[in-house]
């Protein structure tokens, strides 16, 4: 430890931490804008300046390490004035249309202006007037709101290793953009939306598709059904001020019911179906010398990353559609028949923690009936906006259940939302199918947690199945490179594009740096996912009565011809 003083307060702090962190431990708040722990620690924006006794100039506290005897001042007149000037300069050419900004009230710039008590902007900034990039089905970039913090650049480059956005220097017109001023639609963006999650302002946002949902709901001819992904229920509450990691499954179902959906279904049910199909596929490939490892195909950001960067692995992908796409296909076939509804009249809305799912839903490969399997995808954030727009008092809603006849999913379905969950759900089922008996010990903790790459060797009958799980595209890249180099070999690999899996998807509620730098959103939300797993009466996909009935009455066996026609697809290079 080292001894320092901050604003006269004597402190003993760990060596190696930054002044910002030391101040935080002492409950002294230093404002920041570009800083995001572990992702963007570059000291670029100069908001976090502090005065250090004996130092020649003010220093950026987010990158300045503590040292024995440092005397630090966070509120001296020089510091206060420097911060205000910096902020006013940023505000002077910012497109300040806060009233209609999607990030209003959740904007780090707006909050800073309030916290620093900015009453007037002393500088006349040249206003930037650059075109919006809204050609991507998932992501909208508004350069006029960009504060050049570079968090998105770092996320895309260092964490996701995609590197499609970077800083372009053009004097005062510096921007963050894609090479040659292309649209995100024209570069190998995976649509993961992780750049949105770290944007402090409204410069990056999802393509808002709520109007499409409202119009469908207003159309009396349509049977509008909704399904919700596993990870939405453990994050939606954050939009209504509930603590991170609060489960709101019942309130979410109630809110969707109030919004007027004919049926409220759970994507988890289709996750159970995916396990039946993917588990069967895995066993077949192992037995029949098929392509190994089988790699999961449910994360559309990962699929797109694979197509652009690792086309040699496309044959390894499971042929299963992702659960929500399977559900869409089931709703327009099995369910349509069962309920006597014309599939053309069924409108499927998916609520997903993911921006890439918007892109996925438009893929021509995902159509079992000639119609798109899923009609519209909205994110967790968009659902929250619809709930607010409808005037629903979310926090006081009485819990409701998902609707019959597709209502009950298992614990295996819900854990899909956290990294390692698809793997664990598959292992729960495959092990029992092979053994022909049921096991008590179903928690595969080796594949849980936020570590980037996890490995496990699992005995299944007399086989030893080698499994690996990667979350975040940078980790996926590492794993694939090691497989390519022959340094590692697996039978089954789970890849999720987002760090932590879907709980931390690019469509989830956005927490400011002041929260997410110090609280691990991935862990807190995943905890809630595993709580829900334990709370459910059935925790193995193959025991789900809804799924059993679907096979009995419609598909026959997992992997049947009919199952292949409806539930599987093929991503070609
Ligand atoms: Fe996921 Fe899914 S678990 S991708 O992470 O597999 O988005 O939550 O809905 O489809 O079920 C996201 C989450 C899903 C799908 C499921 C899978
Ligand atoms: Fe990069 Fe993902 Fe953002 Fe695309 S969506 S620019 S891949 S971080």
Q: Write the CB contacts of 304 (distance below 8 Å, at least 6 apart in sequence).
A: 188, 189, 190, 191, 356, 359
- Main-chain phi, psi angles of 431, to 5 degrees: -60, -40
pLDDT at 174: 80
Q: Is 154 in the pocket of ligand 2 (CB under 6 A)?
A: no
The whole-number pLDDT of residue 177 equals 87
What's the sign of the alpha-carbon dihedral 526, 532, 533, 535? positive
Q: Return the residue whose CA atom lies nearest to atom 1 of ligand 2.
A: 156
Neighbours of 56 (CB within 10 A): 6
Q: What is the pLDDT of residue 168?
A: 83
Ligand 2 center from residue 300 Cα (angstroms): 12
Q: Round to the nearest angstrom and report the end-to-end CA distance of the chain.
A: 55
The sign of the dihedral angle between the CA atoms of 479, 480, 486, 492 is positive
Please report, in tens digits, the pLDDT of each residue of the chain (573 residues total).
999 999 999 999 999 999 999 999 999 999 999 999 999 999 999 999 999 999 999 999 999 999 999 999 999 999 999 999 999 999 998 999 999 999 999 999 999 999 999 999 998 877 778 899 999 999 999 999 999 999 999 999 999 999 999 988 766 668 888 888 899 999 999 999 999 999 999 999 999 999 999 999 999 999 999 999 999 999 999 999 999 999 999 999 999 999 999 999 999 999 999 999 999 999 999 999 999 999 999 999 999 999 999 999 999 999 999 999 999 999 999 999 999 999 999 999 999 999 999 999 999 999 999 999 999 999 999 999 999 999 999 999 999 999 988 888 999 999 999 999 999 999 999 999 999 999 988 999 999 999 999 999 999 988 999 999 999 999 999 999 999 999 999 999 999 999 999 999 999 999 999 999 999 999 999 999 999 999 999 999 999 999 999 999 999 999 999 999 999 999 986
Catalytic pick from 186, 315, 365, 549? Answer: 365
Q: What residues contact residue 338 under an 8 Å CB cut-off, 6+ apart?
A: 405, 553
For residues 415 and 503, give the distance between their C-alpha atoms in angstroms, rounded to a whole number.
10
The bound ligand whose nearest atom lies closest to the alpha carbon of 161 is 2
Active-site residue (options: 136, 299, 318, 541): 318
The answer, yes or no, to whether ipTM is higher than 0.95 is no
> What are the phi and psi torsion angles at 190 (to 5°)?
-90, -5
Residue whose CA lies nearest to ligand 1 atom number 16: 323
Pocket of ligand 2 contains residue 354 by CB under 6 Å: no
Alpha carbon distance 40, 194 (integer Å): 13
Would you state the structure tokens that stand for residue 463, as one six-digit string?
């086989």
Catalytic, 318? Answer yes
Pull the structure tokens for residue 42: 């570059």
Q: For ligand 2, is residue 195 a contact (CB within 6 Å)?
A: yes
Nearest CA-CA partner of 349 in 426, 443, 428, 264: 264
Q: How far apart are CA 28 and CA 123, in angstroms?
A: 29
Q: Which two tokens stand for residue 94?
A: 């910012």
Measured CA to CA, the distance from residue 450 to residue 526 in angstroms comes to 9
Q: What pLDDT is recorded for position 172?
A: 64
Catalytic residue among 101, 502, 540, 541: 502
Residue 199's pLDDT is what? 98
Spacing of C-alpha 352 from chain mean position = 9
Q: State how far the Cα of 479 lies from the Cα of 214, in Å rounded to an integer.
A: 42
Other Cβ atoms less than 10 A from the Cβ of 408: the count is 20
Does the annotation count 502 as an active-site position? yes
Cα–Cα distance, 267 to 406 (Å, whole number): 10
> With left for phi above 0 and alpha for psi between -120 and 50, is residue 394 left, alpha or beta?
alpha
Ligand 1: residues within 6 Å at CB?
229-231, 267, 271, 298-299, 322-324, 352-354, 357, 416-417, 422, 496, 501-502, 505
Q: Which of 206, 278, 382, 532 is catalytic?
A: 278
Q: What is the pLDDT of residues 245-262, one digit of tens each?
A: 999 999 999 999 999 999
Helix (H) or strand (E) holding 266: strand 263-266
CB atoms within 10 A of CB 514: 16
CA of 450 to the centre of ligand 2 (A): 20
Backbone torsion region of residue 223, taken as left when φ is above 0, otherwise alpha when ψ lies between -120 and 50, otherwise beta: beta
Task: Dig out the tokens for 217 from the structure.
Answer: 């709901």
Element (H, E) at 284: helix 267-287
Catalytic residue (one of 51, 206, 281, 382): 281
Q: Where are the alpha helices (DSSP H) in 288-335?
A: 300-309, 323-330
**14: annotated active-site residue:** no
Distance, CA of 43 to chain centre: 27
Q: Check residue 8 and report its DSSP letter.
A: T
Q: Write a three-state SS string for 421-473.
A: HHHHHHHHHHHHHHHCCCCCCCCCHHHCCCCCEEEEEEEECCEEEEEEEEECH
Distance from the alpha carbon of residue 320 to the mean position of ligand 2, in angstroms:
24
Partners of 317 in the beta sheet? 295
Tell me, in angstroms, the distance from the centre of ligand 1 to residue 34's CA.
31
CA 188 to centroid of ligand 2, rounded, Å: 9
Give dist(CA 219, CA 236) in Å, integer: 26
Q: Give residue 539 CA to ligand 1 midpoint distance, Å.
A: 17
Please give the pLDDT value at position 546.
95
Element (H, E) at 516: helix 513-516
Measured in residues, the chain has a length of 573
- Ligand 1 pocket, mutate which of 417, 418, 470 (most atoms under 8 A from CB): 417
Do 41 and 34 contact (CB within 8 A), yes or no?
A: no
Q: Is the peptide bond before 405 cis (omega within 30 degrees of 0)?
A: yes
Q: Which residue has the tokens 């698809």?
A: 422
Quick one: which ligand is closest to 155's CA?
Answer: 2
């Amino acid at each position: 430890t080292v001894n320092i003083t901050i604003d006269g307060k004597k402190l003993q702090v760990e060596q190696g931490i930054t002044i910002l962190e030391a101040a935080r431990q002492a409950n002294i708040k230093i404002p920041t804008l570009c800083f995001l722990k572990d992702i963007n620690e570059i000291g670029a924006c100069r908001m976090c300046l502090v005065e250090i006794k004996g130092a020649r100039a003010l220093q950026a506290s987010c990158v300045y390490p503590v040292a024995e005897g440092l005397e630090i001042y966070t509120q001296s007149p020089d510091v206060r004035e420097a911060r205000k000037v910096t902020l006013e300069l940023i505000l002077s050419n910012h497109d300040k249309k806060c009233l209609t900004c999607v990030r209003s009230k959740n904007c780090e710039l707006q909050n800073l202006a309030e916290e620093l008590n900015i009453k007037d902007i002393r500088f006349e900034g040249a206003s930037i007037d650059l075109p919006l990039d809204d050609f991507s089905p998932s992501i909208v970039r508004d350069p006029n709101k960009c504060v050049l913090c570079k968090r998105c650049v770092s996320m895309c480059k260092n964490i996701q290793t995609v590197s499609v956005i970077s800083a372009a220097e053009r004097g005062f017109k510096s921007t963050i953009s894609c090479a040659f001023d292309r649209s995100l639609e024209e570069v190998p963006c995976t649509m993961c939306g992780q750049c949105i999650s770290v944007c402090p302002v409204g410069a990056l946002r999802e393509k808002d598709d709520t109007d499409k949902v409202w119009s469908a709901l207003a159309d009396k001819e349509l049977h509008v059904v909704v399904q919700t992904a596993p990870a939405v229920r453990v994050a939606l509450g954050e939009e209504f001020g509930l603590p991170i990691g609060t489960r709101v499954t019942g309130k979410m179902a109630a809110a969707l019911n109030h919004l007027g959906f004919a049926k409220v279904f759970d994507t988890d049910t289709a996750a159970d179906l995916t396990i039946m199909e993917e588990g069967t596929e895995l066993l077949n490939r192992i037995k029949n010398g098929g392509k190994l490892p089988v790699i999961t195909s449910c994360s559309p950001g990962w699929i797109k990353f694979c197509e652009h960067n690792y086309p040699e692995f496309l044959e390894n992908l499971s042929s299963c559609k992702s659960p929500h796409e399977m559900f869409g296909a089931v709703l327009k076939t099995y369910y349509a028949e069962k309920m006597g509804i014309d599939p053309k009249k069924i409108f499927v809305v998916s609520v997903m923690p993911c921006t890439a799912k918007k892109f996925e839903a438009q893929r021509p490969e995902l159509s079992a009936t000639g119609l798109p399997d899923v009609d519209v995808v909205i994110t967790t954030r968009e659902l929250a906006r619809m709930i607010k727009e409808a005037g629903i008092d979310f926090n006081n809603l009485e819990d409701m259940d998902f609707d019959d006849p597709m209502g009950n999913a298992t614990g295996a379905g819900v854990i899909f939302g956290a990294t390692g969950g698809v793997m664990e759900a598959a292992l729960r089922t495959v092990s029992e199918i092979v053994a022909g008996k049921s096991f008590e010990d179903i928690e595969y903790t080796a594949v849980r947690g936020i570590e980037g790459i996890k490995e496990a060797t699992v005995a299944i009958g007399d086989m030893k199945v080698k499994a690996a799980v990667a979350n975040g595209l940078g980790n996926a890249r590492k794993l694939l490179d090691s497989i390519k180099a022959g340094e590692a070999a697996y039978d089954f690999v789970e890849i999720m594009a987002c760090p932590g899996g879907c709980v931390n998807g690019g469509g989830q509620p956005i927490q400011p740096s002041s929260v997410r730098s110090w609280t691990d959103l991935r862990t807190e939300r995943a905890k809630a996912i595993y709580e829900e797993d334990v709370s459910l009466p059935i925790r193995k996909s193959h025991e789900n009565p809804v799924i059993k009935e679907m096979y009995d009455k419609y598909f026959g066996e997992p992997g049947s011809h009919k199952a292949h026609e409806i539930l599987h697809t093929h991503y070609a290079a």
